[in-house]
Amino acid sequence: MTPFAALVWKEWRGERRSIATLAGAAALLPLLGLLGAREFAGRFGLQRYAYDGGTATIVAQAALLAVALSLGAELLPSESRRGSIALLRRLPCGLLRPFLAKFMLLIVASLATALVAWASACAAVRATGGAWFPPLDFGVSLLRGAPNLLLIVVVGLLAFMASAWIGRATLALPVALLAVALALTPFWLARDDDPLLASVSTLVPLLWGAALLAPCVGALSFVLGRRRGGGEWRSFAIGGAAVGALALPAGAWRSERAAEWNRVDPPLDSFRVTALRQPGVLAAGGRYVYLTAHHQFGDLVIRDAPRWVLDEFMQFPTCGRYSDGPPHVLQVDLADGSWRDVGGPGSLLWLPTRFAPLEAVPYVGIRSCPEAEHDRAGWRALLDANDGREVARAPDVDERNAIEGRAEWDELARSEHVAYLGGARRVWFEREEWWTTDPDGGSRRLPDSAMSRTAHWWWRGSQSRGVMVQGRRDGPEEEEVEIYDFARERRFRWSDASANPSVRKGKWIVERWDASPPSGRRRFRWELYDPERAVSLPAPAEVADHKLLWIDDEGAAIGGPWGAHDQSLVTLECFDPESGVRSPIALPARLEALAGGVVAFDVVARTRLGAPIVRLVLRGRDGGKVERYARWDARRRELRVAEEASAKELPLVGCPDEESLLVIEQGRRLVRLRFGSDAREVVFPRHDAASGAPR
Amino acid sequence: MNPTAPVFAARGLSMRFGKRRVLDGLDLELAPGQVTALLGENGAGKSTLIKLALGVLKAQRGTLTVAGCCPLKQSGLVRQRVGFVPDVPDAYPWMTARELFRFLAPHWPSWDAALAESLLESLCVPTATPFKSMSRGEGMKAMLVAALAPRPSLLLLDEPFAGLDPLVREEVLRSVIGELRSDPNGGERTVLVATHDLDVVARIADRVAILAHGKIAQHGAVGEVLGAKSLDDGNGAGDGSNALLDDGAGVGAATFKLRDVLAATRSTETAVR
C-alpha cells in the first residue's frame, strides 16, 4: 500500500458510516418522497414530481449538495477537534497528501451518493407509473442544467474550502458564503457600469473559477496553516489572504474594465460600428451621419469555450458578442469628422420598422438598449437630425410610446411610405392619401381610388414606374388591386394579386414562377403585359429568364441571368424587354483585375437620387466575395463603380450627393467613396477631429 | 551519518509564543546511544523542544540538527528517522492498534512489521480494541510500538508516563525499559524523554538535562546532576533494579537537588536581567 492509498483508506475507514448513512438516505428518501407525493398529490400539489422523469435529476442534485455540505464540511475540522491533526503533522509525507485524500473521498462519495439518489428516484418514478429513466436530450440542450449543477458543486467546494479555516463544520457554509460575498464586492459595486457584471454569463465563469480555485485555497489554508502547529486562525489568515489575492486583482481588472466599458473612443482599434440592419443614417441636411457604435473588448479570457452555457444568456443582440461594450449613438459631422456621443452608453438608433435604407432623415430616433438597462426604465428619444438637439424624450413603457404619437415621428416615419420612381420623382402615402411629386417640384395628390380607404399598398421598388394599390372591401377573399401607372398617369385594374407587374413605358413586365417541362423544375420567368388591352404576351426567349435590376425612364431594362448557387459568373446586360436585343455592360478594368467577375447583383434601394445604387457581389481572386457599389449612368449606358475600398464587405449608410456614397469599412471606419472613381476618403474617425462627451 | 556525531544538536535555539519566550538560546547535544531525560517544570518548553525536533514547529532563532538533518528543510527525512510518543495517544479513536499500524506503515519505508507484532505481543497491547476503548496505558503502549516499529535512530518521548496511575505506569515502565535501548541497526538508540518525574528519570535515563527559563541549566549524568545514582551508572539498559526507588530518601534528595538547580537558574536569570 502506498502512503496515499493508506491515507485514502484511513479517510474511508473513518467516514464509511457517514457515507453509508448518506447513501442510504439518498436511496430511501426519493422513494419515500415520490411515493408520498403520489399519495398526497392533491393536498400539496406535488403530483407532477411523482411522474416527472426530471425529478431524478433534481433529487440527484439535492443529494450531491447534501453530501458535499455534510461530509465536505466535516472532513477537515474533525482532525483538529479530535486532536488527530497532530498525528497527520508527524507523517513524513506532510499535510498535502492527507488533504488530497480527503478531497478525493469527498468527490467520490458525493458522486456515488448522487448516483444512488438518481437511480432511486428513477425507480421511484417508475414505481409511480413513469418511465425508468428521464428522457435524455442529447446535444447542447443536455447541458442547459449545467449552471445549476455547477452552482451546487461550487457551494460544496466552497464549504470544503472554508472548513479548513474553522473548527466547526456547521460554520463552514456561512463562512464560505461570507468570503464569497466579500470577494464579489468589487464586482457588485461595478455592476451598474458594466452590464456583463450583472448578468448570469459573468456568474458562470466566476463559478468555474471558484470550482477550480476553492480546493486550491483550501489546500493552501490547510497545509500551510496547520503544518507548524498552527490552528484555525492561521489557516483562516492564509485562506483569507489567498481569497483576497485572487479576488482583488480580478476585482481591479473588472473595475478598470467597467470604467472602460462605457467609454467610446473611435480612434481605438477596439472601436466598432455596430452591425445593425441599418448601421447609420444620413441627416436630411447632409451634414451629419448618426451611427451606432460600441467597443469590442478583446480582453475577455473566456470567450468561446463556454458558449454552450452562455448562449442563452448575455449577448447584446445589437453587438452579437458578449464581450462587446454597450452601444452608443454617435453624431458624426461629415465636414470635419468631429463626433459627439448623443445617446450615451446603452443607446441604439431607433428607426421606423420599414425604414428605407439610404433615406436621409429629418429626425433621428434613439432608444435605450434593453441589455444595458438593468433594472432602470427604458427610454426613447427623438433628435433633430440636423443639429442633434433633443426634441422629445419619453419612458419606454409600452408598445405605443409617447414619441410615436408626435408629428416629428410621423415625419421620420414617412420614409416607410415613400417610393422613388426615378428622375427624382417620388410617391408617398400620408394620412391615407397618395401623393406624388411633379416634375416641376411641387406635389399633388393622386386621384382617389375607387377602393376602400383601408387599402395598403406597395411598389415594385427599383424597376417599377407604377404603384400597386391593394384594397380589401369586406372579407379576406375579396381583394381588389389596382395599379397606378405613372408613365401613363392613370389607373388600371389588376386582377392577379399574386404577380407583381413592373410598370414601364411600353408593356409591363410580369414575373412569375414557371414550371419548365419536361423536368418540371421551377424557374423564375417573366412575360409582357399590355395594360391597355389587358392581355399577356410571351417575353423574348433571349431575356425571359433574366433577373431585372431596374427599368429606366425610356423603358430599357438592366439585368442579367440569375446567379447560381455555385457562384458562377453572370454578365450584366442592358436589354429591350420587347425585342430581346441585349448589350453587355462592361465592368471597369480595375475592378476586373481585382475580382474574377460578378456572381450576384442587386439594387440596394431606389433613392432620391436619379438612379438606384447597385450592389455588385464579385468573386475575389482569393476565392472570397468582394462587395462594391455602382450607379448606372443612363446617358453613357455604363456602370460607374466606386472602386477603391479596403474591405470586402461595405455596409451602406447613405448617399450625401449624386456622386458619392458613405460606407462602413472594416466595421470601424466611415468612408466616402465616389462613383466612377478610385477616390476614397476616411470621414470618421479622424485623428485630428474633436470628440464629444455623452450628453 | 557519522556514528559518533550527535543525533540531536541544538544551538542557540529560541522560540516564543506571542510575548512568552519559551526557549531562549538553548544549546543541547545528545550523543548516540544515550537515554537522556529532559527535566523541567510545566511550561518549561520540553514539548516545544521535541516538536521543534519533529519539524512541526519552527524556531525563531538558532539551528537544530536531528538525525543529521534539518527538521524544517528535510522534515520528511527527519520524521522517518525519529520515533515519537506523545503525552496523550493521538491516534484516531476508531482505530485499533493494527489499523494504526496499517495506516502508518506505508509512510515509513523502514517499518518492521515483525517487530511491531512482537512488541504488540510482548507489551500485551490489545489489537482489536479501538483507541477510544483502550485504557490510557494500553494506548500509550500502542503508540510506543508505533514509534518503535520503524526502528528510529532517535526516539522522542513527550511525558508518556504522565497521568498514568502508579500501577499502570509501573507496568508500562517495566515493559518499555527493555525496548528503549533495543538495537535499530546494530547500534544503540538515542532517546530523549521529556518528563518531570524523577522516578522515570532514575529508572530509564543515563543523562539528564534540566530545562529552565528557556535554557539547559544543567546537563550531565543523572548522578552528577541530581546527586543520585543511576540504574547502571549511565551505561546501558536498566536491569529492573532501582536504587532511587529502593531508597525513598534518594528520591527526596534528588527532588531537593532539582529544586535547588531550578532556583539557582531563576536567581541567575534575575541577576542577568
Q: Indicate whether A223 belongs to any domain.
A: yes
Q: Indicate whether B224 belongs to any domain.
A: yes
Q: What is the pLDDT of residues B119-154, one digit of tens each?
A: 888 888 898 999 999 988 889 889 989 998 998 888
- Give dist(CA A575, CA A558) in Å, integer: 6
Q: Quick one: A219 and A290 in the same domain? A: no
Q: Indicate whether B116 belongs to any domain.
A: no
Shortest Cα distance, chain A CAs vs residue B138, angstroms: 18
The helix, strand and coil proportions of chain B, stated in percent and rounded to the nearest 5, come to 40, 25, 35
Determine the Cα angle at B199 with ends B180 and B135, to 5°.
Answer: 65
Q: Indicate whether B50 belongs to any domain.
A: yes
Nearest to A3 among B58, B93, B107 (CB): B107
Nearest to A93 among B76, B88, B90 (CB): B76
Q: Quick one: A294 and A404 in the same domain? A: yes
Nearest to A90 among B58, B79, B88 (CB): B79
- Give the pLDDT band (50/70/90) at residue B243: very low
Residues of A in contact with B86 (CB under 8 A): 86
**What kind and span of H or E run contains A427?**
strand A425-430
Shortest Cα distance, chain B CAs vs residue A167, angstroms: 17
Q: Quick one: A479 and A368 in the same domain? A: no
**Which pLDDT belongs to residue A560?**
81
Which of A218, A239, A261 is a domain's end point?
Answer: A261
Asked if B94 and A10 come within 8 Å (Cβ–Cβ), the reply is no
- Give the pLDDT band (50/70/90) at residue B236: very low
**What kind and span of H or E run contains A489?**
none
Q: Quick one: A277 and A388 in the same domain? A: yes
Relative orientation angle of helices A96-127 and A146-163, to the nearest 10 degrees = 140
Asked if A82 and B54 come within 8 Å (Cβ–Cβ), the reply is no
For A152, A204, A687, B182, the CA distances from A308, given in Å and listed in that order, are 19, 11, 40, 67
Residues of A in contact with B79 (CB under 8 A): 90-92
Kindly identify which residue of chain A lies nearest to residue B53, measuring between CA atoms.
A90
DSSP-assigned letter for residue A134: P
Taking alpha carbons only, the member of A231, A189, A181, A169 closest to residue A206 is A181
- Higher pLDDT: A304 or B87? It is B87
Q: Quick one: A239 and A297 in the same domain? A: no
Taking alpha carbons only, the member of A675, A668, A568 closest to residue A332 is A668
Residues of A in contact with B106 (CB under 8 A): 1-3, 5-6
Asked if B105 and A13 come within 8 Å (Cβ–Cβ), the reply is no
Handedness of CA A430, A435, A438, A442 (dihedral sign): negative
- Higher pLDDT: A6 or B169? It is A6
Asked if A90 and B84 come within 8 Å (Cβ–Cβ), the reply is yes
Whether A193 and A261 have beta carbons less than 8 Å apart is answered as: yes
Work out the average pLDDT over B13-34: 88
What is the number of alpha carbons within 13 Å of residue A537 lying toward its C-beta?
16
On the question of pLDDT at B105 being above 90, the answer is yes
Q: What is the pLDDT of residues B177-223, one digit of tens each?
A: 766 666 545 566 888 989 877 877 877 888 889 888 888 888 888 87
Number of neighbouring beta carbons within 10 Å of residue B30: 23
Q: Indicate whether A367 belongs to any domain.
A: yes
The SS3 of residue A17 is helix
Q: Indicate whether B108 belongs to any domain.
A: no
Residues of A in contact with B91 (CB under 8 A): 84, 87
Q: Quick one: A376 and A460 in the same domain? A: no
Q: Quick one: A105 and A56 in the same domain? A: yes
Q: Quick one: A1 and A84 in the same domain? A: yes
Q: Indicate whether A126 belongs to any domain.
A: yes
Asked if A90 and B91 come within 8 Å (Cβ–Cβ), the reply is no
**Which pLDDT belongs to residue B227?**
67
Q: Indicate whether A532 belongs to any domain.
A: no
Q: Indicate whether A690 belongs to any domain.
A: no
Q: Quick one: A409 and A276 in the same domain? A: yes
Residues of A in contact with B107 (CB under 8 A): 3, 6, 91-93
Q: Indicate whether A481 belongs to any domain.
A: yes
Residues of A in contact with B77 (CB under 8 A): 92
**Which pLDDT belongs to residue B241?**
38
Asked if B92 and A10 come within 8 Å (Cβ–Cβ), the reply is yes
Which of A205, A236, A261 is a domain's end point?
Answer: A261
On the question of pLDDT at B240 being above 50, the answer is no
Nearest to B57 among A5, A91, A229 (CB): A229
Peptide bond into A362 cis (omega under 30): no
Residues of B in contact with A9 (CB under 8 A): 102-103
Asked if B107 and A228 come within 8 Å (Cβ–Cβ), the reply is no
Nearest to A90 among B56, B95, B103 (CB): B56
Asked if A84 and B91 come within 8 Å (Cβ–Cβ), the reply is yes
Asked if B88 and A83 come within 8 Å (Cβ–Cβ), the reply is yes
Kindly identify which residue of chain A lies nearest to residue B87, measuring between CA atoms.
A86
**Which pLDDT belongs to residue B252?**
61
A208: exposed, middle or buried (Cβ count in 10 Å: 0-12, 13-18, 19+): middle
Q: Which residues pair with B210 in a beta bridge?
A: B39, B218
Kindly identify which residue of chain B lies nearest to residue A93, measuring between CA atoms.
B76
Asked if A5 and B102 come within 8 Å (Cβ–Cβ), the reply is no
Shortest Cα distance, chain A CAs vs residue B92, angstroms: 6
A479-485 and A466-472 beta bridge pairing = antiparallel
Helix residue ranges, H only, B34-135: 46-54, 75-81, 97-104, 113-122
**Which pLDDT belongs to residue A289?**
94
Residues of B in contact with A1 (CB under 8 A): 102, 105-106
Place of cell 483508506: A9
**Structural domain boundaries, residue B191:** 8-90+151-272
Q: What is the pLDDT of residues A440-458, one digit of tens each?
A: 778 888 777 666 544 555 5
Domain CATH code at residue B204:
3.40.50.300
Asked if B99 and A13 come within 8 Å (Cβ–Cβ), the reply is yes
On the question of pLDDT at B235 being above 50, the answer is no
Q: Indicate whether B81 belongs to any domain.
A: yes
- Give dist(CA A594, CA A642) in Å, integer: 13
Nearest to B56 among A2, A83, A228 (CB): A228
Q: What percentage of chain B has pLDDT greater than the value 70?
A: 77
**Which pLDDT belongs to residue B232?**
41
Residues of A in contact with B51 (CB under 8 A): 229
Number of neighbouring beta carbons within 10 Å of residue A500: 22
Which of A261, A283, A303 is a domain's end point?
Answer: A261
Q: Indicate whether A566 belongs to any domain.
A: no
Asked if B90 and A86 come within 8 Å (Cβ–Cβ), the reply is yes
Cβ pairs bridging A and B (under 8 Å)? 63
In chain A, which stretches have pLDDT less than 50? 138-142, 300-321, 453-454, 460, 462, 693-695
**Which pLDDT belongs to residue A68?**
81
Q: Indicate whether B137 belongs to any domain.
A: no
Q: Quick one: A244 and A161 in the same domain? A: yes
Asked if A13 and B94 come within 8 Å (Cβ–Cβ), the reply is yes
Q: Quick one: A21 and A114 in the same domain? A: yes
Chain B residues within 8 Å of chain A (Cβ atoms): 51, 54, 56-58, 75-77, 79-80, 84, 86, 88, 90-95, 99, 102-108
- Give dist(CA A8, CA A284) in Å, integer: 78
Asked if A229 and B105 come within 8 Å (Cβ–Cβ), the reply is no
Residues of A in contact with B76 (CB under 8 A): 92-94
**Which pLDDT belongs to residue A106?**
92
Asked if A87 and B57 come within 8 Å (Cβ–Cβ), the reply is no
Asked if B107 and A6 come within 8 Å (Cβ–Cβ), the reply is yes
Q: Quick one: A383 and A442 in the same domain? A: no
**Structural domain boundaries, residue A198:** 137-261
Number of compact structural domains in chain B: 1
- Higher pLDDT: B50 or A515? It is B50
Number of compact structural domains in chain A: 5
Q: Indicate whether B268 belongs to any domain.
A: yes
Which residue in B66, B99, B107, B132 has the most chain A C-beta atoms within 10 A of its own C-beta, making it the best mutation to test that interface? B107
Handedness of CA A55, A61, A67, A70 (dihedral sign): negative
Whether A356 and A415 have beta carbons less than 8 Å apart is answered as: yes
Buried b (16+ CB within 10 A) or exposed e, A603-626: bbbbbebbbbbbbbbbbeeeeeeb
Kindly identify which residue of chain B lies nearest to residue A2, measuring between CA atoms.
B106
